[in-house]
Amino acid sequence: MTRLVDSFQREITYLRVSVTDKCNLRCIYCMPEEGVGLKSHSDILRIEELARIVRIASQLGITHVRLTGGEPLVRQGILTLVCFLSETPGISDVSMTTNGVLLPGLARPLREAGLHRVNVSLDTLQPERFKKITRRGHLRSVLDGLKAIEDVGLSPVKINTVVLKGINHAEVEDIAMLTKENPWTVRFIEFMPFWNNGWQFGNRYVVPIHEIRDKIMAQGAYPVESDAGRDDRKDKSGRGPASYVKFPGAKGSIGFISMKDHICSSCNRIRLTADGFLLPCLLSDISVDLRTPLREGVKDDVIAGLIRKAVSLKPENGQVAQTRATCPGANPSLSKIGG
């Protein structure tokens, strides 16, 4: 099989696909309460266009596709897309990151369509705090969604928790305790200010990841290397961006992720926005337009060439790009590119 290799000899095997810029929540660290300016319906890639891009990418060496948003489960046709992708030769893993609100009714259909795994965003176990963070929705829906995906075999279950000082940082031990009785991986993520949302959240909410880890270790956890700690972004040794610990006798594991932990050196991913732009790096303003040539009717080899171009533009690390990404006007909002 053809291999996609960037200028720094990293093999690119993982494509994150934002299927919509819409979301049914308004999480305070992701977008303002009134939402963000949405693309017109005609700007958003059609299901068939998304499927075609993935098919071409699979022929170049992409093996893992993760569906993101906005919130991917609000996208009409999402089950059809999952079915298309799961049947694409060369794609061995189709996963999704979701806020979980709609999972109770969609877990089984997603599994039947061919989805393999789900990551669920969950930042608190307190109903009122959930409303404060998300500005809408109900915690019970997410908890029911977690049970639903476990019941239908969408595993391993991963929970992503963004830690915010003064908002939910006092809950990290309680959230970590979920792993004692559940075979889940809880990953604590250091909040990264991302400025181009038309608002300014600021560094005052950042809790350094080492502080979070120290709190969990103080509860008796110990470092592990486990299958539960396997991640989407690995170097050749199999290591992902998170370090993992585990409580004695626990069924699950706890991970810690920070953009400052030199995770760029082993990054094996590219991102497709809902309106058809391929991003070689989350922290860069570089993008390659796929939508225009798609709709001009170009052949597959042209799209393949553009995918290779995007990979060739991938920076060695995000440190230089991050300077631009944290300044107004540099990047699309995090809510539009799926993190």
How confident is the model over 57-68, as pLDDT tens digits? 999 999 999 999
The pLDDT of residue 36 is: 62
Q: For 178-214, give one letter per residue: b (16+ CB within 10 A) or e.
A: bbeebebbbbbbbbbebbbbeeebeeebbbebeebbe
The pLDDT of residue 33 is: 64
Which token pair is 107?
A: 């877990």
Of 67, 116, 111, 59, the residue nearest 90 (C-alpha): 59
For the chain, the residue count is: 339
Strands (E), the chain: 14-18, 64-68, 93-98, 117-121, 158-163, 185-190, 222-223, 243-246, 253-257, 269-272, 277-279, 288-289
Q: Would you tell me how many other CB atoms lie within 10 Å of the CB of residue 34?
A: 9
Rounded to whole angstroms, the Cα distance separating 75 from 202 reads: 31
For the segment(s) 14-337, the CATH number from 3.30.300.10, 3.40.50.300, 3.20.20.70, 1.20.120.1200 is: 3.20.20.70
8-state DSSP, 206: B
The pLDDT of residue 243 is: 85
Which token pair is 12?
A: 């690119």
8-state DSSP, 46: P
Rounded to whole angstroms, the Cα distance separating 61 from 3 reads: 5
Q: At what angle do helices 78-86 and 47-59 cross, to 10 degrees?
A: 20
Which token pair is 25?
A: 């929540």
SS3 label, residue 180: helix
The pLDDT of residue 28 is: 84
Q: What percent of the chain has pLDDT over 70?
A: 81
The pLDDT of residue 225 is: 67
Which token pair is 192?
A: 């990264």
Please report, in tens digits, the pLDDT of each residue of the chain (339 residues total).
578 999 999 999 999 999 999 999 988 887 766 656 677 889 999 999 999 999 999 999 999 999 999 999 999 999 999 999 999 999 999 999 999 999 999 999 999 999 999 999 999 999 999 999 999 889 999 999 999 999 999 999 999 999 999 999 999 999 999 999 999 999 999 987 654 443 455 677 889 999 999 999 999 999 986 444 445 444 333 334 568 999 999 999 999 998 766 567 788 999 999 999 999 998 778 999 999 999 999 999 999 999 999 999 999 876 544 444 444 334 455 555 555
Task: Spell out the alpha helix ranges (H) of 32-71.
Answer: 47-59
Domain ranges of the chain: 14-337
Angle at CA of residue 338, ends 332 and 339, nearest 5°:
85
**Cβ neighbours of residue 2 closer than 8 Å, sequence gap 6 or more:** 59, 60, 61
Are the C-beta atoms of residues 24 and 74 closer than 8 Å to each other? yes
Q: Which residues pair with 33 in a beta bridge?
A: none
AA identity, residue 46:
R
Q: pLDDT digit string (tens) for 36-89?
A: 667 788 999 999 999 999 999 999 999 999 999 999 999 999 999 999 999 999
Its pTM stands at 0.89
Q: How far is CA 301 from CA 46, 60, 63, 274, 297, in A?
A: 20, 11, 19, 22, 12
